[in-house]
Amino acid sequence: MTQEEFFKRYTYTPSRDRIGGGGFGTVYKAKDNVLHREVAIKVSEVKTTADGKKTFSLKDEFEALAHVPKHPNIANYEEFYSYESPQGLFDYAVMQYYPDGNLNNAIKQGLTLGQKEDIATQLLEGISFLHEHKVVHRDLKPGNILIVKDGNKIIPLITDFGLSKAAGVVDGSVFSNSFGAGTPRYSSPEQLQGQPLRFNTDLWSYGAILYELFTGTQLFSAGSGAANTAQADMEIYNKIVNGNVSGLNKMPEQWRKVAERCLVVDATKRAKDAGELLGIVRGDDDETEITVGPSTSSAGTATSTPSSKGTGGQTSPSKKSGKITKDPPASPDKPKSKKGLWIALGAAALVALLLLLPKPKQKPIPTDPDTQAYEACQTVADYRAYMRQYGTNALHYADAQAYVERHMADSAAKAQQQLAQQQAQQQAEADAKAQAEAEKKEEAAYKKAQAQAQAQAQAQQQSGKGTANGHEWVDLGLPSGTLWATCNIGASKPEDYGSYFAWGEIQTKNSTYDWDTYKYTNGSEMSLTKYCDDSDFGYNGFTDNLTTLQVSDDAATANWGSGWRTPTKKQWEELKNNTTHKWTTQNGKKGYLFTSKKNGQSVFLPAAGYQWHSGLRYLGSDGYYWSRSRHADSRDAEYLYFSSDKCTMGFFSRRRGFSVRPVREK
């Protein structure tokens, strides 16, 4: 389908039909003019490095599920297209439109206990299906779970697979955390720390979703109440990596057990797959001692007495040490050797046949030596001696012979049964040994990958430079520990100008930068719909008193991924106060060079000018860089301004297109 054909078939208005978006694209509701239906279209600009290599494309997300069959709890894309335009290369992925919203909305609207349990079970089945097909999601959260209402039944569908490609090509049980973490408050500890991942990273996210589903509140939040700030993000980070999990007793008992198996900091001790959790849901699990949170702490643990029934490879606690140990596996997809089984069955059949044979007839009252000799027999040897002495014509020869044959058959059956049991035991021991060796090998690979990641992190720390999500940063030794990016968003070199963004918008514009194209107005500066504390400027008297960009509206996070943010006013001032800065030229581009007073590291900000309704202005003579702070006494936003003779903070109309230089925390 050509680009012209695509936009003729699918029609939508970006300013009106936007229904969601994030770091991996924006989603619009569109009309399919061929099939006369509504669809959802995800649009994302293809990001590339200086040498032309793609850093992200929706094609990755589309291909992550290309080999996965249809499932009632997974929302698959139907079609994928990529088109070149003067503004860049853009991907378009088409899927069914779900008007009932996502799980976030459903939780806020209220659900019955039955609906909650049904949703939890369906989600677990969807996760299990993904893992069976070697796909790990890595960004599970209520906002990425669409819902369909069918009467009183609610069907959840997992969507948004922007982080899933690496799992699709994983070789083994651990794989690179190449895209970084997903949404922080639902991310596993290993995601947040940039460590190699296992498939059960999704189970941690599932545990956090379960808590929110059954209690209506988020499991991990900032206690200070300062939402969407660097301080709040760090507070949530510390709670997760330290396993600060509490309040699970608010959940129904059965689902509390499931959450406990998920929310274990050590991924090697966490539930390994969704099948184990489904066992708890169905009531056929073997209760074990579970440590919720860090394995080195006794706080937040729940213990229970081991069940007497077998678990077939489930973990069970040792009575002596309390450590989790392994029972011999009995997995149906790994059959044991059948040789011992056939021997045992044959022996059992032989014993059953012998039970049908006639017993020796009741011996008559002794009246002659033949009968007296027969009556005196006690052992097989006695009966054989009787048969030799009296011959085949003896009165009781047939009975004696039947007794001897039955005894021999019974002995043979017992011997075969013992042999079968011995072989079965040997097979079980061999299976247990093989499993232990496999786990040891897996653990060694995990530790090696972990050590490599730590070594890389240490090397970056020592050098004062590093990368995150494919973008370089430099450590200027600032008091707050803030790390500054070396390039603007949209640039591949420090001196490149990069892209321009209106304040609070996460995409560049094809049209002019003015109030009639600004995202958070109804067409004029007097009708703000977000980030407003003065009803005179708000639409119909609207105010929300938001003074700092939320993560979802931060161009740095949306374009560079989790961890990157637009600097606050305070961070810009810290940069100025702790560096020497001068107007200079770098590779033919004018701008300001900020050099650390502490370690000599520096960052260069080019004079990129700004975009307005009349086009690009002051290119090469002035620099305008947004902060994520709104000005306290106006509708404008704080920014850093510099020219050849000054460098200062100011505030300006948020509708204009300024540069963004991202930062991140250590």
Q: Which residues are known catalytic residues?
A: 139
**Residue entry with tokens 């799980």:** 103
Helix axes 397-463, 380-390, angle to 10 degrees: 150
Q: Where are the alpha helices (DSSP H) in 285-396?
A: 339-356, 369-376, 380-390
Helix and strand element counts for the chain (H, E): 17, 26
Residue 298 makes CB contacts below 8 A (sequence gap 6+) with none
The whole-angstrom separation of Cα 576 and Cα 594 is 8
The two structure tokens encoding residue 578: 């702790």
Instruction: Tell which phi-psi region holds residue 523, choosing left (phi > 0), alpha (psi between -120 and 50) or beta.
Output: left
Residue 79 makes CB contacts below 8 A (sequence gap 6+) with 93, 94
Residue 379 makes CB contacts below 8 A (sequence gap 6+) with none
The whole-angstrom separation of Cα 543 and Cα 529 is 8
The two structure tokens encoding residue 528: 């703000």
**Count of alpha carbons within 13 angstroms of residue 338, beta-carbon side:** 3
Query: What SS3 class is residue 4?
Result: helix
Q: Which amino acid is at 3?
A: Q
Q: Compute the Cα dihedral for 311, 210, 134, 433 and give only its sign.
A: negative
Instruction: Tell which phi-psi region holds residue 619, choosing left (phi > 0), alpha (psi between -120 and 50) or beta.
Output: beta
Cβ-contact 472, 466 below 8 angstroms: yes
The two structure tokens encoding residue 638: 């704080």
The whole-angstrom separation of Cα 606 and Cα 593 is 9
φ, ψ for residue 21 (rounded to 5)? 175, 170
The two structure tokens encoding residue 442: 């897996």
The whole-angstrom separation of Cα 513 and Cα 460 is 39
Cβ-contact 10, 32 below 8 angstroms: yes
Cβ-contact 266, 295 below 8 angstroms: yes
Length of the chain: 666
